[in-house]
Structures are given as structure tokens and as C-alpha cells.
């Protein structure tokens, strides 16, 4: 695939400071499809300097003008929708139909939402004898993962740009091609030079340099809790703002009286989409003892409909995982589940039939999982579902809240009021009630170790603003 051999800094593609490159691999067949430059601290510094120089001008731009540029960005992404889908399918391995709908569709929606918010948001309000201004935080360092590669870029860059901040992005090393495509879209949308900058590179070098750069005012990170903790510590020591979107181990709580068939089917789909590589995936399915066996059967039947297949084929529902490292990690968890006594219903650690090349994991369902098992506590980030039995609602709540995470969840009950009463007691940032749809304007983010801060909608915009009060 086509790739730039430089960095997008100060409005142009410029040669990287070093000669190292990162190979981009198609996870379905392990072929190298492109190479991008591996940025160094020098590239990061050049990008931060460009962002700093562009800040006063962009921060002073009327919101309507920022909205116009964001609308143009939305349109540039929409024009290249099919190319985005194909790029994400090639570098992440997501099935093409899912790439079109989610990996391409969602960022277009989110970019559009921030075009509208830039125009309508109250950047100024009167409080008694004060006028309170919402001003941009400054230069934003954005570090993003590979699992929803364009969505996670847009969920940071769009609100930052709407707020009047300037941005340096360090995308994940596995999925840099869609990040380059995004930089092209920013360029086409006519943002002033330096307002958005891209440095590709590996986490411990380029990511670390960006997180630690003294001229970055806010670091927004999505990824693993281990790296997030480190970035939080660095930012805390420098007294700079930080937003962290980390892992999850979300519970799908099916209460007595719920439509079991629907709850299990939607629950399985929620985990297997994107090969289980979704931080908000409902990887723990909690079912009451009376209907547990029926739920296990339903889950096995639902998982059987996700045969691993060529992600470029429009009918495929389950692709590979992103890399050999992830495949080995997920396999390790499956082996651990078996060792600790969970009952393997379908799937398992071996590569699916006929899929020796590429990073494949069969859809895997575990029954008889107890809350203390590793597979019930740690984020697996693969197509693996754990069914956990509970005796009563109080126990279901204890299990649902019994991990270090709190990102998302679902509750199914005979009626919404029962589900809402349960959801209000869950220690988690988002809960879908009886199959409620994803809302790209609703605040997204974690309780507990799932993170700090919120993305999307007005809450996401507020992350990039700081307040100033003038008294009269
Ligand atoms: P990661 O946290 O290592 O990588 C995420 C981003 O951080 C990438 O851009 C990476 O280059 C960068 N990075 C890595 N080390 C860094 C450092 N020292 N300083 C600054 N930036 C750094 O995640 P991963 O290795 O790609 O995935 C590992 C696990 O993380 C997954 O298995 C999953 O459990 C979790 N994860 C969660 C999410 C999420 O959305 N919450 C996304 C991806 C991965």
C-alpha cells in the first residue's frame, strides 16, 4: 500500500530525522504491505515546535472558522470512506463490512459532531459579575492505539481542534497508514500549517518523547493501563493535564426476566466484533443460575456463526487479531483459563483450521468461569467470552463491580426501570440498557483504572478547554 516516507509537520510532508522504518504487516497473511518512518525525539521536537508556533493564531480563530475547517475535514474523510475501510482492513485485519460501518463511518460522524459543536458551544458565559471564558489548553500530544485506529485519532484531534488547541499525533505502530490518510485529509481541509502534526514511531521512543515534552500542555492517551500509568506519572510530575482511556473488563449482566436469546446474541456480537479488540467489550457475561445452561448453549451457537475468514471478503464476520504479539497473548489467556478450571465450550488456543499464516484465534467461549479466575479479571483483547453464574442480584453486582476496571457494561431485564436501577449501582462509565445503541455524543470513559477524563460530545470538548474568569 501507498505510504509517506516522511512526517507531516508544519503543513507539509518532511523527511524524518532518522533512517529507521517500521514495517506494516497485514495480520491476515503476515505480508509486509508498507513501511513508514520511525520517528525520534528530534521529529517530535520539530512537530511540537510547529504546533506551539501555530497555537496563538489558531486559538484566536473565531469558532465559526474552526467549525468550517472541521466540516471540510469531515467531508474529506467522507470522500475517502472506502479507502479508509480498505486501509484499516489491511493493517488491522478488521472485516471489510465492519471497517466500512465502524472504522470509517464512526470517525466521519464524530468529526461532523465537532464541526457542529465548535459552532454552537458556549465558549463564554456570565456568572454573576464575571464573564467566564473557555480557552484552549494549548499544545496537545495525542497517543493512540491500533484497535479503532481512526476513531481514536478523531476522538482526540477533532475536539482539540474545535477547542482551538494545536495537535501532535503519535499513532500506534501497527496502524500508521490510516493515520497518514488522516493527515492528508487535514491538509485537504485547509487547516493552517502547524495546527495538526503527525509523527509515526514506536511507543518507547516517539511516544515517550511526546509524553515527556515540556512544551506539550496536555497529553491524551488511549491504550494499555501499564503505559497509561507511566504517562500519568510523567504528566503529574510536570503538572500538566492528562487524559487516559485505558482497558476494560466490562460486564454484560443478564437479569432474570430479560430476553435471554437476544441478550446472549447481542452480547456475543459485542465481543466478537473487531476480534474482541475493543476496550469497552462486554467480555464477562453474567447469567442467573436458573438459565445458565441455556445461556451457554445459546452463546456457543452464536459464536459458531463467526467463522474466521478473509477480512477483505465482504461476508466475513471475524478477522485475525492485529499482531503475533496479540495472538500469543490471547492464546496464553485461553491456556490459563483451561488451567484454572474454566470449561472450554468452543474455540481454544490452537489456530483455526486452515489458518496457519496470519494471527488467528477461533471464537472462544468459556463456561464455569469464577470471578477470581485470571480470564475473569484481566483484559484479554481477543475473541474470548467468559460466562459467569450468579445466584442473586447482589452477587451479580459484586461480580460486575469486582475488577480494577470500569469502562462499560450492559444490563438486560424485563423492563428498563429494573435495568436502570441495577446500572446505577455499577462502577462503570457507560451502560447499555436492554440493547441501547452506541451514542457518539455520549461521554465515553472509565471509572477506576479504566481511565481519567471523558471523550466524545461536549464532555470530550471540555477536556481541551481551560477557564478564565474576568470580574466586572
Ligand atoms: P500500548 O499501550 O503499548 O500502546 C498504545 C499507544 O501507546 C501506541 O501508540 C504506542 O506506541 C504507545 N506507547 C507504548 N509505549 C509507550 C511509552 N512508553 N510512552 C508513550 N507511548 C507509548 O498498547 P499495545 O501494546 O498496543 O496493547 C497492549 C494491550 O493494551 C492490549 O492487549 C489491550 O489490553 C490494551 N489496549 C487497550 C486499548 C484501549 O482502547 N483501551 C487499546 C489498545 C490496547
223 in contact with ligand 1, CB cutoff 6 A: yes
Active-site position among 86, 91, 208, 245: 245
Task: Give 122 Cα–ligand 1 centroid separation in angstroms.
Answer: 34
Please indicate, yes or no, if residue 229 is contained in any of the structural domains: yes
Using H for helix, E for strand and C for coil, what is the string for the chain? Answer: CCCCCEEEECCEEEECCCCCEEEEEECCCCEEEEEEECCCHHHHHHHHHHHHHHHHHHHCCCHHHHHHHHHHHHHHHHHCHHHHHHHHHHHHCCCHHHHHHHHHHHHHHHHHHHHHHHHHCCCEEEECCEEEEEEECCEEEEECCCCCHHHHHHHHHHHHHHHCCEEEEECCCCCHHHHHHHHHHHHHCCCCCCCEEECCCCHHHHHHHHHHCCCCCEEEEECCHHHHHHHHHHHHHCCCEEEEECCCCCEEEECCCCCHHHHHHHHHHHHHHHHHCCCCCCCEEEEEHHHHHHHHHHHHHHHCCCCECCCCCCCCCECCCCCHHHHHHHHHHHHHHHHCCCEEEECCCCCCCCCCCCCCCCCEEEEEECCCCHHHHCCCCCCEEEEEEECCHHHHHHHHCCCCCCCCEEEECCCHHHHHHHHCCCCCCCCEECCCCCCCCCCECCCHHHEECCECHHHHHHCCEEEEEEEC
The residue to mutate among 145, 179, 211, having the most atoms of ligand 1 within 8 angstroms of its beta carbon, is 145
Tell me: do 285 and 334 sit in the same domain: yes
Nearest to 427 by CA among 269, 202, 251: 251
Q: Tens digit of pLDDT for each residue in 371-401? A: 999 999 999 999 999 999 999 999 999 999 9
Annotated catalytic residue within 165, 279, 379, 463:
279
Residue 44 maps to a domain: yes
Rg over CA atoms, the chain: 22
Give the residue, out of 170, 209, 227, with the most ligand 1 atoms within 8 A of its beta carbon, to mutate for a pocket test.
Answer: 227
Q: Is the pLDDT of residue 353 over 90?
A: no
Whether residue 163 sits in one domain with residue 214: yes
Evaluate whether residue 356 is within a structural domain: yes
Q: Look at ligand 1, atom 40, and give the residue with the nearest C-alpha.
A: 279
Domain check: are 153 and 273 in the same one? no
Q: Is the CB of 308 under 6 A from ligand 1?
A: no
What mean pLDDT, rounded, does the chain reach? Answer: 98
Q: Which atom of ligand 1 is nearest to the CA of 227?
A: 2
Identify the residue whose C-alpha is closest to ligand 1 atom 7.
Answer: 203
319 found inside a domain? yes
Ligand 1 pocket: which of 223, 248, 325, 454 to mutate (most atoms <8 Å of CB)? 223
Same domain for 299 and 430, yes or no, is yes
- What pLDDT does residue 101 have? 98
- How sure is the predictor about 356, in pLDDT bands with cuts at 50, 70 and 90? confident
- Tell how far the Cα of 172 is from the centroid of ligand 1, in angstroms: 8
Q: Does the annotation mark 394 as catalytic?
A: no
Q: Which atom of ligand 1 is nearest to the CA of 247?
A: 41
Domain that holds residue 185: 6-246+450-471
Terminal-residue alpha carbon distance, the chain: 59
Residues sharing a CB contact under 8 Å with residue 435, sequence separation 6 or more, in sequence order: 262, 263, 266, 410, 412
CB of residue 173 inside a 6 A radius of ligand 1: yes
Q: Does residue 40 lie within any of the structural domains?
A: yes
Residue 144 beta carbon below 6 angstroms from any ligand 1 atom: yes
45 and 26 inside one domain: yes
| Co-location of 259 and 322 in the same domain | yes
Q: Are residues 161 and 97 in the same domain?
A: yes
Residue range 94-145, pLDDT digits in tens = 999 999 999 999 999 999 999 999 999 999 999 999 999 999 999 999 999 9
CATH of the domain at 86: 3.40.605.10
Nearest ligand 1 atom to the CA of 246 is: 41
- Is 135 one of the annotated active-site residues of the chain? no
pLDDT in tens, 206-247: 999 999 999 999 999 999 999 999 999 999 999 999 999 999
CB-ligand 1 contact for 147 (6 Å cutoff): yes
Residue 200 CB less than 6 A away from ligand 1 = no
Task: Name the residue at shortest CA distance from atom 35 of ligand 1.
Answer: 224
At 412, which CATH number? 3.40.309.10
Cβ–ligand 1 distance for 114 under 6 Å, the answer no
pLDDT at 354: 87
Residue 445 lies in a domain: no
125 plus 178 within the same structural domain: yes
* Within a domain: 454: yes
Q: Is 406 in the pocket of ligand 1 (CB under 6 A)?
A: no
281 lines ligand 1 (CB under 6 A): no
Predicted confidence (pLDDT) per residue in 67-82, tens digit: 999 999 999 999 999 9
Q: What's the pLDDT at 129?
A: 98
- Clarify whether residues 282 and 350 are in a common domain: yes
Which atom, in ligand 1's list, is nearest to the CA of 144?
Answer: 9
Q: Return the number of other C-beta atoms located less than 10 Å from residue 387's C-beta.
A: 27
| Residue 1 lies inside a defined structural domain of this protein | no
| Statement to judge: residues 297 and 241 lie in one domain | no
Same domain, 177 and 96: yes
pTM here is 0.98
Q: What is the pLDDT of residue 292?
A: 98
Given a cut of 90, whether residue 8 has pLDDT beyond it is yes
What total number of domains does the chain contain? 2
If you measure from the C-alpha of residue 263 to the centroid of ligand 1, how many angstroms do you get, rounded to a whole number? Answer: 30
Q: Is the same domain home to 272 and 240?
A: no
Amino acid at each position: 500500500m501507498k505510504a509517506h516516507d516522511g512526517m507531516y509537520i508544519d503543513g507539509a510532508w518532511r523527511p524524518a530525522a532518522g533512517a529507521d522504518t517500521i514495517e506494516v504487516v497485514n495480520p491476515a497473511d503476515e505480508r509486509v504491505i508498507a513501511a513508514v518512518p520511525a520517528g525520534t525525539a528530534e521529529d517530535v521536537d520539530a512537530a511540537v515546535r510547529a504546533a506551539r508556533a501555530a497555537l496563538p493564531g489558531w486559538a484566536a480563530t473565531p469558532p465559526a472558522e474552526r467549525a468550517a475547517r472541521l466540516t471540510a475535514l469531515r467531508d474529506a474523510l467522507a470522500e475517502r470512506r472506502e479507502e479508509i475501510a480498505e486501509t484499516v482492513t489491511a493493517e488491522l485485519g478488521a472485516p471489510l463490512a465492519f471497517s466500512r460501518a465502524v472504522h470509517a463511518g464512526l470517525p466521519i460522524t464524530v468529526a461532523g459532531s465537532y464541526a457542529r459543536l465548535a459552532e454552537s458551544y458556549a465558549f463564554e458565559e456570565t456568572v454573576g459579575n464575571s464573564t467566564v471564558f473557555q480557552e484552549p489548553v494549548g499544545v496537545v500530544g495525542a497517543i493512540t492505539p491500533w484497535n479503532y485506529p481512526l476513531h481514536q485519532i478523531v476522538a482526540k484531534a477533532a475536539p482539540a481542534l474545535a477547542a482551538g488547541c494545536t495537535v501532535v499525533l503519535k499513532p500506534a505502530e501497527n496502524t500508521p497508514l490510516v493515520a497518514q490518510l488522516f493527515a492528508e485529509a487535514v491538509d485537504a481541509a485547509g487547516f493552517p500549517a502547524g495546527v495538526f502534526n503527525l509523527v509515526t514511531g514506536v511507543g518507547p521512543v516517539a511516544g515517550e518523547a511526546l509524553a515527556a515534552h515540556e512544551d506539550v500542555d496536555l497529553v491524551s492517551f488511549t491504550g494499555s493501563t501499564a503505559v497509561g500509568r507511566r504517562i500519568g506519572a510523567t504528566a503529574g510530575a510536570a503538572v500538566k493535564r492528562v487524559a487516559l482511556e485505558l482497558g476494560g473488563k466490562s460486564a454484560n449482566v443478564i437479569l432474570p426476566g430479560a430476553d435471554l436469546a437476544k441478550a446472549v446474541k447481542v452480547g456475543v456480537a459485542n465481543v466478537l466484533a473487531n476480534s474482541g479488540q475493543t476496550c469497552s467489550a462486554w467480555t464477562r457475561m453474567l447469567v442467573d443460575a436458573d438459565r445458565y445452561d441455556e445461556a451457554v448453549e445459546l452463546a456457543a451457537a452464536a459464536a459458531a456463526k463467526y467463522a474466521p475468514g478473509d477480512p477483505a471478503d465482504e461476508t466475513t464476520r471475524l478477522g485475525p487479531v492485529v499482531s503475533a504479539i496479540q495472538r500469543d497473548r490471547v492464546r496464553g489467556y485461553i491456556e490459563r483459563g483451561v488451567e484454572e478450571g474454566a470449561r472450554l465450550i468452543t474455540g481454544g488456543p490452537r489456530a483455526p483450521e486452515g489458518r496457519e499464516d496470519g494471527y488467528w484465534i477461533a471464537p472462544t467461549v468459556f463456561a464455569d468461569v469464577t470471578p477470581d479466575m485470571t480470564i475473569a479479571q484481566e483484559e484479554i483483547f481477543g475473541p474470548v467470552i467468559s460466562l459467569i453464574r450468579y445466584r442473586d442480584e447482589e452477587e451479580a453486582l459484586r461480580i460486575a463491580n469486582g475488577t480494577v476496571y470500569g469502562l462499560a457494561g450492559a444490563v438486560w431485564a424485563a423492563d428498563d426501570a429494573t435495568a436502570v436501577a441495577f446500572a446505577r449501582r455499577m462502577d462503570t462509565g457507560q451502560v447499555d440498557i436492554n440493547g441501547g445503541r452506541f451514542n457518539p455524543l455520549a461521554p465515553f470513559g472509565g471509572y477506576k483504572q479504566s481511565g481519567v477524563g471523558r471523550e466524545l460530545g461536549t464532555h470530550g470538548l471540555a477536556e481541551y478547554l481551560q477557564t478564565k474568569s474576568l470580574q466586572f
